[in-house]
Amino acid sequence: MREVVIVSGVRTPIGDFLGSLKDFTAVQLGTMALKAAIERAGIEPAQIEEVATGHVYQAGCKGNPSRQVTIHAGCPVETVSVTINQQCPSSMRAAEIIGQQIMLDKIDIGAAVGHESMTNIPYLLLKARMGYRMGPGKLEDGMMYDAFIDAFYNYHAGVTAENLVDMYNISRQEADEWGLMSNQRACQAIAEGKFREEIVPVEIKSKKGVKIFDTDEHPNPNASLESMAKLKPAFKKDGIITAGNASAINDGGAAMILMGADKAKELGIKPLARIVATASASVDPSIMGIGVVPAVKRVLQFAHMSMDDIELWEINEAFATQVIACNRELQINVDKINVLGSGVSLGHPVGQTGARLIITLMHEMRRSKKQFGCATLCAGGGPAMATIIEAL
């Protein structure tokens, strides 16, 4: 089968909840990213044969958001579009689907997009269609109802991370130290300009003029163990997960252009990375965060590689405790994990994150001259995904 390569990968800066990107829809964020990815690849929109987009919170976004991104980015009506919802790995799964289409020789060039505007998730009136006959009605928060609250156990995803705390005997100190490390790494990366290559600046127009938003909004340069220790547990009275060691609620878009290695050669395009292998795995929803472990084991098996072959890791920080639990099993040197920060510091716009992990990993591998890297993340309900890439 054909080799699949990534020829461009970009993302918007990640905005805070109700922050700088609050007035942009998910579709607009995905469109910005796809336009920039096409331009950076040096191709025309008409050359894109299929677009797969990861998008979790689709309520109120009109039908098939991927189709909207495709058309708004200038691709022709003949370009096929599909929207993927697998919770957090959605845009990583989108990349896998495009990669498989290329491997099977169904297309030559495709795009994987991830976008989310968590700020604009609507509230839901689930009984409104049939009418509220008597008594009070209930307004559901779509953010909670459609993802954060587990569909099987009816408790918050944060409780699943607390379940891992109990399983692996993780302390509050460990969780806060990881949260602090994540913020310190992200802030240092920003100060050193390490995200500039992957970020597409966003123009924000207002009555005061045009503001250029080009820096991730959530990393906290003032984070400290002392300030984090004062934060109250968010999900259990006696729990250890707080706003300081959990991922944030965010907005953002990301996009990658994938093509067959033979097509890249034909077009004279130098690839940035090769997709070596992808894999999915799943665990009980009550411990969803540990799904990363079997996903990593499977992707290594498919790639015929070992843990020692992987030089850099992106393990999404849905919660610091979740990454700590996974690493109790995987035993990776912490200096190789999330070297530029992750969900706790950068944020976690859920539909964007899967693609964002691959993009950030790819650019950092090329900068630090590493050959193989693995991006992986868990998902609400128990599924997880992992992708191994080779920098070229």
Residue pLDDT, tens place only, 146-160 = 999 999 999 999 999
DSSP-derived letter for residue 303 is H
Q: Is the pLDDT of residue 208 over 90?
A: no
Q: Find the domain containing 52 and state its range.
A: 4-121+248-391
The total of structural domains in the chain comes to 1
CATH number at residue 347: 3.40.47.10
For residue 355, pLDDT over 90 is answered with: yes
Task: For residue 350, tell me if it sits in a domain.
Answer: yes
Which residue is listed with tokens 């008409």?
A: 46
Res. 134: pLDDT tops 90: no
In the set 75, 187, 326, 378, the catalytic residue is 378
- pLDDT at residue 135 is higher than 90: no
Residue 144 has pLDDT above 90, yes or no: yes
Instruction: Indicate the helix (H) or strand (E) that contains 177.
Output: helix 172-191
> What are 31-48's pLDDT values in tens digits?
999 999 999 999 999 999
Q: Please report whether residue 314 resides in a domain.
A: yes
Residue 29 lies in a domain: yes
- In the structure, what pLDDT confidence band is assigned to residue 10 with cuts at 50, 70 and 90? very high
Confidence of residue 132 (pLDDT cuts 50, 70, 90): confident
Residue 386 lies inside a defined structural domain of this protein: yes
Q: Which residue among 115, 156, 218, 348 is the active-site one? A: 348
| Average pLDDT of the chain to the nearest whole number | 97
Distance between CA atoms of 345 and 218, rounded to whole angstroms? 6
Q: Which of 61, 75, 88, 326 is catalytic?
A: 88
187 is catalytic: no
**What one-character-per-residue DSSP string does 109-155 give?**
EEEEEEEEEGGGPPEE-TTTTT---SS----EEHHIIIIIB-TTT-S
pTM: 0.97
Is residue 126 assigned to a domain?
Answer: no
List of residues 6+ apart from 360 with CB closer than 8 A: 11, 195, 198, 314, 340
The tokens for 266 are 């034909």
Q: For residue 135, with 0-12 CB atoms within 10 Å meaning exposed, 13-18 middle and 19 or more buried, which class applies?
A: exposed
Q: 10 Å Cβ neighbour count for 37?
A: 29
* Catalytic residue flag (residue 88): yes
Least confident of 58-67, 68-77, 205-214, 318-327: 205-214
Report how far residue 344's alpha carbon sits from residue 332's, in angstroms, rounded to the nearest whole number. Answer: 19
d(CA 341, CA 317): 9
Active site residue 348: yes
Render pLDDT for 376-385 as a digit per residue (tens, 0 to 9): 999 999 999 9
- Going by their DSSP bridges, the two strands 50-54 and 80-84 should be labelled as parallel
Q: Where are the beta strands (DSSP E) in 223-354?
A: 250-260, 273-282, 312-315
Distance CA 276, CA 302 (A): 9
Is residue 49 included in any domain, yes or no? yes
Taking the C-alpha atoms of residue 380 and residue 296, their distance in angstroms, rounded to an integer, is 17
In a domain, 151, yes or no: no
Q: Is residue 206 assigned to a domain?
A: no
CB 115 within 8 A of CB 352: yes
pLDDT value at residue 137: 87
